[in-house]
Amino acid sequence: MIHPTAIVHPGAVLAADVEIGPFAIIGEHVKIGRGTKVGASSVVEGWTEIGENNQIFHLTSVGAIPQDLKYKGEVTYLKIGNGNIIREFATIHLGTVTGDGETTIGNNNLFMAYCHVAHDCHIGNHVIMANGSTLAGHVTVEDFAILGGLSAVHQFARVGESVMLSGGAMLGQDALPYTVASGNRATSAGLNTVGLKRRNFSPEVISNIKKAYRLIIRSGLRLEDALRKVRSEIPLSPEIEHLLAFAEKSERGLCR
């Protein structure tokens, strides 16, 4: 189902039921899985692999070369999973050889209009990026995070699981899982209790996450000491273990 005005390179690999809209351009090394739709005047290029049942709306740019002056045309990749929605004017770039060599996006994410995902970013599942939100290169966004409109994330920073990044926030450090971050430069604004309840976290788990949050973010302790107290004073559930592992791996420091 390719519109007669679309340009699809003979080398592209498209599943039988893929829809390509008017004036769209599909590059030589692109692979698109079944049920995916590409809207009018969109460009999908580079070594890009797109899974099944994605909706790519009109006027998007997917798989363009990185906005990185060190990039010299090397073969790098963009891999997109299943069930994603990419709205108008969104831009998603290939990886770089100085990074991981690929940009990756999981499943069931929503990228609203004018979002930007730069080179070597890694986005999990069920992430929402609201209008105009921007990721610099090498950013990691974990599952169920929400980035408010016009927010931005510094290169190499990480957005933890179920984080709510407020609209207009400028995140320069790592946002601890299950928290809210806001402001310029963003600081921690509490626990994302609404998001945790929507995910059906039990009251006991939420309570323990809150205790861990207070020790790590609010106590004023050195991070190493705070993590030690969490391990000794709070029951270790998968959620607490994930929170601790995230904090221990922080290279840019935590948003506190």
Q: What pLDDT, in 10s, does the model give residues 138-182? A: 999 999 999 999 999 999 999 999 999 999 999 999 999 999 999
HEC secondary structure over the chain = CECCCCEECCCCEECCCCEECCCCEECCCCEECCCCEECCCCEECCEEEECCCCEECCCCEEEECCCCCCCCCCCCEEEECCCCEECCCCEEECCCCCCCCEEEECCCCEECCCCEECCCCEECCCCEECCCCEECCCCEECCCCEECCCCEECCCCEECCCCEECCCCEECCEECCCEEEECECCEEEEECHHHHHHCCCCHHHHHHHHHHHHHHHHCCCCHHHHHHHHHHHCCCCHHHHHHHHHHHCCCCCECC
What pLDDT is attached to residue 125?
99
In a domain, 40, yes or no: yes
Q: Tell me, what's the pLDDT at 176?
A: 98
Cα dihedral: 17, 20, 64, 52 (round 10): -20
Q: Is residue 148 part of a domain?
A: no
Domain C-terminal end among 108, 138, 168: 138
Residue 237 within a domain: yes
Assigned domain for 129 exists: yes
**Within-domain flag for 59:** yes
Q: Is the domain of 113 the same as that of 207? A: no
pLDDT along the chain (256 residues), means of 10: 98 98 98 98 98 98 98 98 98 97 98 98 98 98 98 98 98 98 97 97 98 96 97 97 98 96
Identify the pLDDT of residue 177: 98
The residues annotated as belonging to the active site are 119-120, 137
Please check whether residues 134 and 12 belong to one and the same domain. Answer: yes
In a domain, 185, yes or no: no
b/e string for 135-149 if b means 16 or more Cβ within 10 A?
A: bbbbbbbbbbbbbbb
Task: Residue 212: give the domain boundaries.
Answer: 196-248
Q: How many domains does the chain have?
A: 2
- Distant-in-sequence, close-in-space partners of 252: CB < 8 Å, separation ≥ 6: 154, 156, 157, 158, 172, 173, 174
pLDDT of the residue at 123: 99
- Identify the CATH number of the domain in which residue 100 sits: 2.160.10.10
Same domain for 236 and 124: no
pLDDT, mean over the chain = 98
Task: Compute the distance between CA of residue 188 and CA of residue 184 in angstroms, rounded to an integer.
Answer: 11
> Do 115 and 224 fall into the same domain?
no
Of 111, 138, 165, the one marking the end of a domain is 138
